[in-house]
Every structure is written in structure tokens, then in C-alpha cells.
Amino acid sequence: MTSETTQKFYYPSEEVVKNAAVSGMEAYKALVAEADKDYEGFWGKRAKELIDWQTPFTQVLDESNAPFFKWFADGKLNVSYNCLDRQVQKGLGDKVALIFEGDKGDIAKVTYSDLLTRVSKFANALKAQGVKKGDRVVIYLPMSIEGVVAMQACARIGATHSIVFGGFSAQSLADRINDAGAVLLITSDGQNRGGKALPLKSIADEALASGCPTITSVLVVKRTGAETAMVAGRDIWADEIVAQMSDVCEPEWVEAEHPLFLLYTSGSTGKPKGVQHSTGGYLLHAILTMQYTFDIKPDDVFWCTADIGWVTGHTYITYGPLACGATEIVFEGVPTYPDAGRFWKMIQDHKVSIFYTAPTAIRSLIKAADNTPAVHPKQYDLTSLRLLGSVGEPINPAAWEWYHENIGGGRCPIVDTFWQTETGGHMITPLPGATPLIPGSCTLPFPGIQAAVVDETGTEVPWGQGGILVVKRPWPSMIRNIWGDPERFVKSYYPADFQGKLYLAGDGAIRDKDTGYFTITGRIDDVLNVSGHRMGTMEIESALVAHEKVAEAAVVGRPDDLTGEAIVAFVVLKGARPTGDEAAKVLKELQNWVGQEIGPIAKPKDIRFGENLPKTRSGKIMRRLLRQLAKGEEITQDTSTLENPAILDQLKG
Ligand code: WT7
């Protein structure tokens, strides 16, 4: 350490170090060295130990068709078997797997043997509807036991699920169904969120009415009891058909490379990409990160607050914790209902020991605690906690310190886990009993993950210098393909700029010049991160120009204290540029339109109207200039090439 480094490290206590799966920095370094020395041996050994294989694999990594890598390719397994049957066989049948807490506070507990029964019956219901191995099933459900059951049931019969977050619109749902060519849709009558019952089936109906020819049936889960129109010959109440099914369903043994799921995420074009994940490699990383990053122990009560609609909910709700035989919370509601003490009350009530949430949630709860003493975390007993986690976006040091002090009581390490939909699990993260923490840094690569920061030519830059985040070697849980678009897969993740040799994460990063710790500096592509939700600027632009009044639109992000980034749209209307009340009216109209086209999370916070957009003489939109305008910054860019400099005043907002 040089004297210039004034960063304060947070070291794990002796007790944390002693009990941790990876105990001390030397143990971490030994794992990294083990992977460096024999990369395939490192992963192969763990794949054998941590997964029950029906047919053992003989080859660890097949790079013959790079970048379409294969892991454990001749091995066969079943994820649902590894999550459920093997826990019951180990004698954990009576252990609680899921503690479900509803929006209204209703609680249901499901043991491992109950869950196995429910999954088997649901799986048989899917089979009864003709769903077979390799078929795609789209799941559009709220946070619920049934959500987890439906996913596990797909895994059990080898169907590939694709979850669509309940906040997405009919249009987004239809696009995802059609891109995947799904045969069956699972939805519910509605969802309870923040004291309101929101529709879901009616949105699904709208999606299907817009044309989803591959869907042959719809299973409808009852949740809110809302009156629900059922289409004869297509729609079936899930509880009715499930009740008729046998509670035994032999798992379908699938190849390790069989697609366990697709999950659509935003990229830098208007069309979301169906990230295709594997079975064996994915499961391995889900388990290994539960052990190393979350240090999961038999008595833990684990709570990941993500929704199953995002990858975090896949890996750290549906698969990772269950594959480790853990007890976990599944929460239907929102952190602010009935008040902003909800998370803290639930930690107290359920004696949560590991808590994993997003910086946006933390920031909004800090604000609430400052304003309303009754919901301040000090009003609750949070002593059951032993480990905290953060995910989805960079956590600013002030929020980190608050989280550490007020939630973790100064004693719980915080794992700031950097990863992506495409990576399947943690990539760069502290290990709680090994890594000294620096607020705002996701610290060091997970053992076996070879992350680096490079320049445009793919050459590693010195520590202390910013660059492009890449991964040098394939890893087991990585994306296998973009569904139906292998060219886009190669172009997006293994670009020719790096001779197809480096995985491009899409983020910028910098390594601390003394410690080598990584800090993520944000996306380097046209992707925004709003409240930890990933949004493509082009997607929002396409939605805007689809509105009859809009001639042209450009979308950029600007930093936001609460949501990390906020969406700002610059819009040219077909008619005259609106001002005053008229501008306010059109703004609302366009916000709602985007909400309808994509989902409420994509609504621009700010829309500015101009007579045209700032373009270079060759017609390229000057996005850097727009970002400066969005931030309200002084324009430092040369504007002499602007077609129409007068519009800068219009767009200042
Ligand atoms: C993008 C991935 C990771 C699962 C949930 C989001 C950003 C994620 C961190 C972190 C800084 C982070 C990156 C990444 N991100 N975690 N700990 N620190 N940035 O998955 O929707 O695929 O988004 O989220 O920009 O590329 P996702």
C-alpha cells in the first residue's frame, strides 16, 4: 500500500474468516492458482463433487467450435433432481425450502418433500398438455411459490423456460413468446403488489390476441381471485389440472448443454436478445457461488429480493439455494408496503441470515428512514443477519456505508457482486471470509473467472487506467447463444476487434492501482441501468417512433440519485414543436405510450421536444452532446458542425 491510498478496508472478523467456505486471503489465492494451473481440472473437479450426474461426463471443456463453447457435454443430469430429489434423499425432506410471504403478509412454508410433490404434479400437468423435452414454455407470473414450481417443473421435463417479468407489457410478452416459439404460457389471474391487485391474465390475453400462433395452451394460476375470462379449448386453471396429476414424475435426463432457460435482455439494438443458458455448467456456478460468495450453511435463512423475472431470481432463488438445500424467502410484495420498514420487519420475523438486494432499494430505504423514524432499521432486530449482498448496479460508497452500519450492524461483510444475465452467476465479487472490502468496488474475480481490463485492441491496460471489461477464458455458466441468432451472439460477445478471443461484457472498468480491485464504471454500449433494470436506448427509441405523433427520437441516460440512471428522451414531433401545457400533455401521452409498449420501467423520466435533433453534417445523432444536455452540463463538444445550432436551447430542458 502506498501513502496515496487513503481507502479504508473493511476486514472480516476472525469468526467470519474461521467459519467461511473460503477462509482467508491465502485460501482465495490458492483457488485462483489452482484454476490458473489446471483450468479444466478446477472446474471438472467441482462439477463432479457438486452435481449428481445420471451419466458422468468425460470431457470438461470443448473449445472446438469457439465461441460456442461446451462444458461437460457428454454428461447427463437433471436440475430439478439436483434441487429436490437429492435433498429429500439426504434426509432434508422435512426441511423448509421456501418461506413465502405475500404482499398482504400471508405466510406459507413449503418443505423440500412438499416442493418435490408440487413440482412433480405440475410437471405432469405440463406433459399432459403435450409439452416435451426441448419445447419452450413462457412463464408470466408474479413472485410466488407457483413461479418457482413452474420453473422447476420445466427443468424436470427438459422443457426450456423463458420468464417474462410481470411488469412487461402485452407487446413485450408477445414478442418474447414469438421469438422463442413457445408452445405453452403459464400466467395467473393477477398479482398483488403494494396493496393493489394488478391484472396479468388480461395482459396475457391481449398479447395472445395480437398473434402468437405457436401457443396451444395457457395454464392460469389463481392468486388474486379476480374475475378472469377463460378461452375455451386454450385456457386451463392450473390448480384444477394439477390436482388430477400423479405426484411422481421421473426426471428427464438431459445433456449438460441442453438449454435450461432463455431469458430476454436488452442489447444495443431495438430487439431484446434471448440469452440461452445451459444445464450443467449453469447449475455448477449457481452452486459454487452459493458456497463461496454466500458461504451458505445448513442453518441459514437466505433472502434474495429479486424477482424471478430477472436472472438474479433464476440463479439465487429458483436454482442456487435449492440445489444447496437451503431455506429461503420468496417475497411477493414491494419494499415500501405497507411501509418502508417491510424488508427490515421480514428480516426480523424470519430471522434472515443472508440478505441480497439492489442498491436502488437501499437508496430509497435510506431516504425513507431519514424521513420517517418509525421505519428506520434501528427499530427492528436485525441481529440474525451475518452477510449482506448487493447486485445489479454499482453501489455508491455512501449507500454501502449505510447498509454496512444500519443493516449489517457493522459486523456483516457486504458482497458487491458484479455479473450479468449472460454470465449466469457472480463474476467479480468479494468472498466474505477472504476479501478485505472497499466500498464501491466489487473487488476481485471469482476463483476460475479470468476477468481483465483491456484497451480497444484487446491489450490489458495497467492498473489505475480505465478500459473495457472482458473475460479471457470461457466459464461453465456463460451464455451459450442468442436464441435463433448465432451471428448476433458472436458479434455482441466475441467481437472481431478482439479476434473473437475475449468475452465482451459491455461494461467499462478500472482496477485500483495498488490492490488490483475492480470498479465498474458503467456500460459502454447503448444500454441503460435504471433501478438495476437493464434497458436498451434503441428499444425505447423504437417504441417512441411507433407513436403516430413522433417523427424522431433519441434516448440517453443521466445519473440519478435514486435510480442510478434515469431515461431522458429527445423527441421531434411530426407537427409543430409543443410548448407549455401542450408539451406537458404530449409528454404524459408519450410516457404512457412507452409504458404500454414496453412496460412501466421503460418510461422516460424526462422528454424534451426540439424542432430537430443535433446531428453531424453526415446525419449522425450527436449522442455525447445529448448526454451533456440531459445532465444539464455545459456543452464542451464542438458544435460548429451542427446542422442547426439553434435547437440546443430548445433541448436544454
Ligand atoms: C449489468 C447487467 C447481475 C444480475 C442483475 C443484472 C450492471 C450488475 C453490478 C455490480 C456494478 C453492476 C452492469 C452489468 N451490474 N451488477 N455489482 N456493480 N454494475 O443483470 O440485467 O444482465 O445487467 O448490470 O452494468 O453489465 P443484467
pLDDT of residue 44: 98
Distance of CA 406 to the CA centre of its chain: 26
For residue 393 and ligand 1, the question of a CB distance below 6 A is answered with: yes
pLDDT band with cut points at 50, 70 and 90 for residue 298 = very high
- pLDDT class for 643, splitting at 50, 70, 90? confident
In tens, the pLDDT along 372-390 reads 999 999 999 999 999 999 9
Ligand 1, pocket-test mutation among 319, 400, 419, 518, most atoms within 8 A of CB: 419
- Assess contact for 430 and 9: CB atoms under 8 A: no
Helix (H) or strand (E) holding 139: strand 136-140
- Nearest alpha carbon, ligand 1 atom 21: 534
419 lines ligand 1 (CB under 6 A): yes
Instruction: Give the Cα-Cα-Cα angle 221, 248, 297 (nearest 5 degrees).
Output: 80
> In what helix (H) or strand (E) does residue 569 lie, and over which residues does it extend?
strand 564-573
Question: Which of 429, 470, 534, 565 to mutate for ligand 1's pocket (most ligand atoms within 8 Å of CB)?
Answer: 534
| Choice among 181-190, 217-226, 430-439, 622-631 with the minimum mean pLDDT | 622-631
Residue identifier of the C-alpha nearest atom 23 of ligand 1: 420
Q: Are residues 279 and 323 in contact, defined by beta-carbon separation less than 8 angstroms?
A: no
Question: Given its phi and psi angles, is residue 396 left (phi above 0), alpha (psi -120 to 50 degrees) or beta?
Answer: beta
Q: How confident is the model at residue 332 (pLDDT cuts 50, 70, 90)?
A: very high
Amino acid 639: pLDDT = 80
Taking the centre of ligand 1 as the mean of its atom positions, its distance from the CA of residue 391, in whole angstroms, is 7
Q: Band of the pLDDT at 653, cuts 50, 70, 90?
A: confident
Query: Which ligand 1 atom is at minimum distance from the Cα of 533?
Result: 21
- For ligand 1, whether the C-beta of 565 sits within 6 Å is no
CB of 144 within 6 A of ligand 1: the answer is no
Question: Where do the domains of the chain lie, and which CATH numbers do they carry?
Answer: 14-334+418-506 (3.40.50.12780), 531-650 (3.30.300.30)
Ligand 1 center to 382 CA (angstroms): 27
* pLDDT at residue 403, rounded to an integer: 98
Question: 394 a known binding residue?
Answer: yes
- Compute the distance between CA of residue 146 and CA of residue 153 in angstroms, rounded to an integer: 10
Whole-angstrom CA distances from 394 to 449, 521, 568 are: 20, 8, 20
State residue 410's pLDDT score. Answer: 97
pLDDT (tens digit per residue) in 241-252: 999 999 999 999
Nearest CA to ligand 1 atom 17: 418
Q: Is the CB of 389 under 6 A from ligand 1?
A: no
Helix/strand/coil for 347: helix
CA 243 from chain centre, in angstroms, equals: 33
- For the cut 60, the answer to whether the pLDDT of residue 493 exceeds it is yes
Check residue 2 and give its pLDDT: 42
126-153 per-position pLDDT tens digit: 999 999 999 999 999 999 999 999 999 9
Q: What percent of the chain has pLDDT over 70?
A: 99
The helix/strand/coil state of 10 is strand
Q: Determine the Cα–Cα distance for residues 180 and 489; give it in Å rounded to an integer.
A: 16
421 carries a ligand binding annotation: yes
Q: Using one digit for the tens of pLDDT, what is the confidence trace for 254-292?
A: 999 999 999 999 988 888 999 999 999 999 999 999 999
Residue to substitute in 390, 417, 479, 529 for testing ligand 1 pocket (most ligand atoms within 8 angstroms of CB): 529
Q: State mean pLDDT over 457-486.
A: 97
- Measured by CA distance, the residue closest to atom 7 of ligand 1 is 393
What is the chain's Cα-based Rg?
A: 24
Q: From the CA of 590, how far away is ligand 1's center (Å)?
A: 28
Task: Give yes or no for a contact between 588 and 611, defined as CB atoms under 8 angstroms apart.
Answer: no
The confidence score (pLDDT) of residue 13 equals: 96
Q: What is the mean pLDDT of the chain?
A: 96
* Residue 193 marked ligand-binding: yes
Cα distances (Å, whole numbers) of residue 285 to 47, 210, 427: 9, 38, 10
CB 259 within 8 A of CB 140: no
Q: Is 409 annotated as a binding residue?
A: no
pLDDT at 4: 45
**Is 314 a pocket residue for ligand 1 (Cβ < 6 Å)?**
no
Rounded CA separation 134/633 (Å): 51
- pLDDT number for residue 267: 87
- Phi and psi at 542, nearest 5°, equal -65, -40
- For residue range 158-186, what is the model confidence (pLDDT) as tens digits? 999 999 999 999 999 999 999 999 999 99
Q: Is any atom of ligand 1 closer than 6 Å to the C-beta of 534?
A: yes
Binding site membership of 507 for ligand 1 (Cβ less than 6 Å): yes
Reply yes or no on whether the pLDDT at 641 is more than 80: no
Ligand 1 in contact with 430 (CB < 6 A)? no
Q: In whole angstroms, what is the distance from residue 421 CA to residue 505 CA?
A: 10
85-104 mean pLDDT: 98
| Nearest CA owner, ligand 1 atom 11 | 394
CA distance 212 to 218: 12
Q: Residue written as cell 404482499?
A: 103
Indicate whether residue 392 lines ligand 1 (CB < 6 A): yes
Please tell me if the CB atom of residue 506 comes closer than 6 angstroms to any atom of ligand 1: yes
Angstrom distance (rounded) from CA 1 to CA 9: 11
CA of 520 to the centre of ligand 1 (A): 9
Closest atom of ligand 1 relative to the 428 alpha carbon: 17
- The single residue listed with the C-alpha cell 435547437 is 647
Span from the CA of 205 to the centroid of ligand 1 (angstroms): 32
* d(CA 522, ligand 1 centre) in Å: 9
Maximum CA extent, the chain: 74
Residue whose cell numbers read 447427463: 76
384-426 per-position pLDDT tens digit:
999 999 999 999 999 999 999 999 999 999 999 999 999 999 9
Q: Is the pLDDT of residue 631 over 80?
A: yes
pLDDT at res. 647: 87
Asked if residue 266 has its Cβ within 6 Å of ligand 1, the reply is: no
**Distance in angstroms (rounded) separating the CA atoms of residues 27 and 40:** 19
pLDDT higher than 50, residue 564: yes
Cell numbers standing for residue 250: 421421473
- Say whether 519 counts as a known binding-site residue: no
pLDDT, tens only, 183-240: 999 999 999 999 999 999 999 999 999 999 999 999 999 999 999 999 999 999 999 9
Q: What is the mean pLDDT of residues 308-328?
A: 98
**Does 194 belong to an annotated binding site?**
yes
* C-beta neighbour count of 614 within 10 angstroms: 26
Whether the CB of 155 sits within 6 Å of ligand 1:
no
Q: Are 172 and 164 in contact (CB under 8 A)?
A: yes
pLDDT of residue 193: 95
Ligand 1 atom closest to residue 442's alpha carbon, by position in its atom list: 17
Cell numbers at residue 119, please? 413440482
Is 231 labelled as part of a ligand binding site?
no
- pLDDT at position 1 is 39
Q: Where are the alpha helices (DSSP H) in 88-223?
A: 112-128, 145-157, 170-180, 201-209
- As a whole number, mean pLDDT of residues 27-49 equals 98
pLDDT-derived band at 634 (thresholds 50, 70, 90) equals confident
The annotation status of 312 as a binding-site residue, yes or no, is yes
Calculate mean pLDDT across residues 98-103.
Answer: 98
Known binder of ligand: residue 392?
A: yes
